[in-house]
Amino acid sequence: MTDPNLLWAPHAWLPDGWQTQVLLRIGTDGRWAHVAAGVARPPEECTVLQGPALPGLVDGHSHAFQRAFAGLAERGEGQDDDDFWSWRDRMYRVAHRITPEQLRAIASQLYIELLRGGYTHVCEFHYLQHREDGAPYDDPLGLSWALADAAEDAGIGLTVLPVLYERAGFGQAALRVEQRRFAMGADAVWAACERVNAARRPNLDAGLAIHSLRAAAVRSIHRLRGLAQGFGGPIHIHVAEQLKEVDDCLQATGMRPVEWLARERLLDARWQLVHATHVTPGEIDAVARAGAGVVLCPTTEANLGDGLTDLPGWLAARQGAVALSIGSDSNVTRDWREELRWLEYGQRLGLRRRNVAAGAGAGPGTPVMATAQRLWQRTLAGGAAAAAQPLWGLQAGARADLLVADAGDASLLGIPTTHLLDALVFASPGLPWRDVMVAGRFVVAGHEHAAQAPVAARFESVMAELWSARGAVLAGGG
């Protein structure tokens, strides 16, 4: 009889890289109980994996509702300066309409797609809180529970990050009308975090988020930090994504955004700076000294025209002191391989040289890693930090999350084991993951998710509701 809790992989990525003939046992708590390489013959009762196995990756930054907008903001509206800010105005028109039931349908579809793209946990930067008129739902966390239900439908791990969001910009006292669904003060954010964690739903937890320095008053940021004294979960913030944001922060405070966070002594290992696109070497060093992390979202940053961050600077900072993770953000892409590919390709285009990540910060005589290996190892560890997971990967004690590549994928044919990761990232496009496990349970098997057909049908129905003739006008589409 086959034991579903005993797996054997011909090749698997362990904390020290590729290993052969790997036996993995799942404990009753959904975590790896034992992992051992060099087991030449799989036990008769075990399940033999049909391809190379890797850990799942944490998606460090997602706005699930924006999945309903992916691919539908790629036409100009007659202006020559279409940018992040014009995109944002169109995005607000979509956010204004979504109900809890629709959000669950959108997020369920997204989360299945994220699983198929190799993410097994997602950090949801959640600022869509209230009814269209800004009034709270009967349960103020109605939209949070919609996300939690969607994660359960899909079988993905979820960290909900309720967002401090209270003003339209520096020097403004209130939100714009189209932002009223987002309103949430420090005490409400903390209460929401506590409620989600108190629910003790499987593979669900909560952290904290601040939308941005422009969207939260100084006193509120410090109030939230005071409430979170002793809190071990993550604290996320959008920062320095756009040059206008940097300029506005300089005008309002006399400091750049990351510089301000460091000078206020807010940063510590819990903090995750999302985007951090426009930063100086001094700011990078300040983040490294504080032990904070950075969440990069390459395909969204490209889609919105944000710019390129100083990836070599982040990689080299204090010999790897900065935790780096990646996020799907606006969800124009739902595959971590493409995020890593474009994280490197953006640098190649900007610097006009190859394998930027491989050599960044490597001192004289230091062995240079393969590009994919360096990015993978950093974002694997950084993703765990973004979700405040104390252990991650194929090791005893970590949650039993696993990806199995399709050994018959054309991108892997004839590739030696030492170069499997290189091919997975750079020999695009490649098939979706053959099998995906979360907490000891296969949620994708043989490329199929059990709920994908009904979830897709509901998603298509919701898209029809949102993108009716009236909806298309509201969203500025054509």
422 is catalytic: no
Please tell me the least confidently modeled range out of 78-92, 212-226, 292-306, 394-408: 78-92
Question: What's the pLDDT at 367?
Answer: 63
pLDDT (average), residues 391-415 = 96
Question: What's the pLDDT at 91?
Answer: 85
Question: What's the pLDDT at 235?
Answer: 98
Residue 351: other Cβ atoms inside 10 A? 12
Which one has a higher pLDDT value, 365 or 435? Answer: 435
Q: Does domain 57-386 have CATH number 3.90.190.20?
A: no
Superfamily for the 6-55+402-447 domain: Urease, subunit C, domain 1 (2.30.40.10)
Q: Contact at 8 Å (CB) between 129 and 184?
A: yes
Per residue in 6-41, pLDDT (tens digit) is: 999 999 999 999 999 999 999 999 999 999 999 999
Q: What percent of the chain has pLDDT over 90?
A: 87
Which one has a higher pLDDT value, 475 or 316? Answer: 316
Per residue in 210-250, pLDDT (tens digit) is: 999 999 999 999 999 999 999 999 999 999 999 999 999 99
How far is Cα 415 from Cα 437, in angstroms, rounded to an integer? 24
Q: Where in the chain are the domains?
A: 6-55+402-447, 57-386
pLDDT (average), residues 470-477 = 46
Question: What's the pLDDT at 80?
Answer: 66
Please tell me the least confidently modeled range out of 94-98, 109-113, 114-118: 94-98
Per residue in 426-469, pLDDT (tens digit) is: 997 888 999 999 999 999 999 999 999 999 999 999 999 998 74
Query: If you average pLDDT over every residue of the chain, what do you get?
Result: 94
49-60-244-98 Cα dihedral, nearest 10 degrees:
100
pLDDT above 90 for 172: yes
22 phi and psi angles, rounded to 5 deg: -105, 125
Catalytic residue among 126, 275, 278, 449: 275
Q: Reduced to 3 states, what is the DSSP secondary structure of residue 165?
A: strand
Question: What's the pLDDT at 359?
Answer: 76
Taking the mean position of all CA atoms in its chain, how far away is CA 374?
18
Q: What is the DSSP letter of 317?
A: G
278 is catalytic: no
pLDDT above 80 for 361: no
Which one has a higher pLDDT value, 61 or 477? Answer: 61
pLDDT (average), residues 251-255 = 97
Question: What's the pLDDT at 365?
Answer: 58
Residue 172: other Cβ atoms inside 10 A? 13
Query: How many angstroms separate the Cα of 472 from the Cα of each of 177, 376, 467?
Result: 20, 39, 5
Among residues 161, 155, 123, 156, which one has the least CA distance to residue 384? 123
The residue behind tokens 């011909």 is 10
Catalytic residue among 205, 329, 335, 406: 329
H or E segment to which residue 186 belongs = helix 186-199
Question: What's the pLDDT at 354?
Answer: 95
